[in-house]
Amino acid sequence: MQKKDRKQSITLKDIAREAGVSVGTASNAINRQDIVSSDLRMRVEKVIEKLGYHPSALARSIKKNRTLAIGLIIPKIKNAFYVQIIDAVEKLVKSHGYTLILGNSDDDLDTELRYLRTFAAMRIDGLILATVGRKDPQRIERELNTYEALGIPVVLIVRGIDQAMHDTIVLDNENGVYRATTYALDLGHRHIAIISSAAHTSASKERIDGYLRAMRERHYPCDQKMIRVDMASPENGYFTAKELLDAENRPTLLLVATSSLLIDCLRAIHDLGLRIPDDLSLICFDDPDWSPYLNPSLTAIRPDTEDLCSVAVRFLLERIENADAFSTRTYVVKSELIVRASVKSLIC
């Protein structure tokens, strides 16, 4: 089936003709009210009302070389962490007169690249990118070069890219997990496992590093079997968790590295009939809004998303205003350990 040509709409030319002025004047009557007689302005407004004129942002953008649109690409909308980010970023950009264009790459590099291309073609004024990761850094770099060529600023969040050519906001993954691990050690846990996804992201590596640093500093051995990296295919976290928890020497505490893995892990725990925290203690990196209402409520490492987003948007808008005023910046967002009830103390 063919798309029918869309009904053609009222244009500025129609307004001008009906009001008996030139089209340039009609434009001025709308946008530059200071420069036009109030008499004329009212006349044009009447005609606009009468004919039902709705200006085209396309034509406007092409002339003004700005779209007032900002792109946000995230890896997984089903992850509550990114929902918080979408919500916060949207409010922020809206308050500055921009529209948010969302891309959900669904943990798929090709989808991400496709959004990168589409958004560049759309000539968004700026991009906030949480990339799916480093499976194929060159391909992402290549798209980002397009942004460079088009003069569209890019801010990376959550996950950086090696060459520090862009402003980047990252979480303190290492430190967050480090503190969670020492907290667990302080409560007497020794068999601590960590399950993480997507080995190719630096976040994953950093979180594991935080775990390792805590264990090493306290001189506890780290069994490699306690470190599991899930391959980010759907459902896979479930099997990884199940295997880990069904093994002979089950850990006493499980660190879950992302809230999307959390659901898989909970399902595995549930299916194995394990009780939290008696059979297994649990800490999650990232604190979805329902975590207090799990039973028991969930001890979690909560990154300061508000801060993350406001810095990201600020950086981006600064670049949009004045692209070259700053050298590349990096900002690390603090996280906080929220102690609830999912970790059992093992000291007598």
Partner DNA sequence: AACTATAATTGAAACGTTTCATGATTGATT
Partner DNA sequence: AATCAATCATGAAACGTTTCAATTATAGTT
The distance of closest approach from Cβ of residue 264 to a copy of itself in the complex, given in angstroms and rounded to an integer, is 10
Q: Among a copy of itself, DNA, none, what binds residue 137 when CB lies within 5 to 8 Å by partner kind?
A: none
Torsion sign (Cα): 160, 217, 215, 304: negative
CA distance 258 to 288: 10
The distance of closest approach from Cβ of residue 101 to DNA in the complex, given in angstroms and rounded to an integer, is 19
Closest CA to 151 of 330, 322, 327: 322
The distance of closest approach from Cβ of residue 316 to a copy of itself in the complex, given in angstroms and rounded to an integer, is 12
**b/e sequence 313-337, b meaning 16+ C-beta within 10 Å:** bbbbbbbbeeeeeeeeeebebebeb
The distance of closest approach from Cβ of residue 95 to DNA in the complex, given in angstroms and rounded to an integer, is 22
CA distance 141 to 145: 6
| Helix axis angle, 23-31 to 38-51, nearest 10° | 100
In the complex with a copy of itself, the residue whose CB is nearer, 209 or 304, is: 304
* Residue 122 binding DNA, by CB under 7 A: no
Report the residue from 1, 3, 4, 13 that binds DNA according to the rule CB under 7 A: 13
In the complex with a copy of itself, the residue whose CB is nearer, 162 or 293, is: 293
Is residue 291 left, alpha or beta, with left meaning phi > 0 and alpha meaning psi from -120 to 50? alpha
Instruction: Provide the CB-side half-sphere exposure for 107 (13 A, CA).
Output: 14
* Residue 255 binding a copy of itself, by CB under 8 A: no
- Site mask for a copy of itself (CB under 8 A), range 288-327, x = bound: xxx-xxxxx-----------------------xxxx----
For residue 9, the one-letter residue type is S
Report the residue from 17, 60, 135, 329 that binds DNA according to the rule CB under 7 A: 60
* Residue 184 binding a copy of itself, by CB under 8 A: no
The distance of closest approach from Cβ of residue 242 to DNA in the complex, given in angstroms and rounded to an integer, is 52
Cβ–Cβ under 8 Å, residues 197 and 229: yes
Q: What SS3 class is residue 28? A: helix
Of 19-27, 86-94, 100-108, 232-240, the segment contacting DNA by CB under 7 A is 19-27
Cβ–Cβ under 8 Å, residues 312 and 126: no
* Residue 337 binding DNA, by CB under 7 A: no
Report the residue from 1, 2, 4, 39 that binds DNA according to the rule CB under 7 A: 39
Cβ–Cβ under 8 Å, residues 312 and 252: no
Residues 120-149 that bind a copy of itself (CB under 8 A): 120-123, 145-146, 149
Report the residue from 17, 45, 51, 55 that binds DNA according to the rule CB under 7 A: 55
Which residues contribute to the site for DNA (CB under 7 A)?
Answer: 8-9, 11-13, 20-25, 27-28, 30-31, 35-37, 39-40, 53-56, 58-60, 62-65
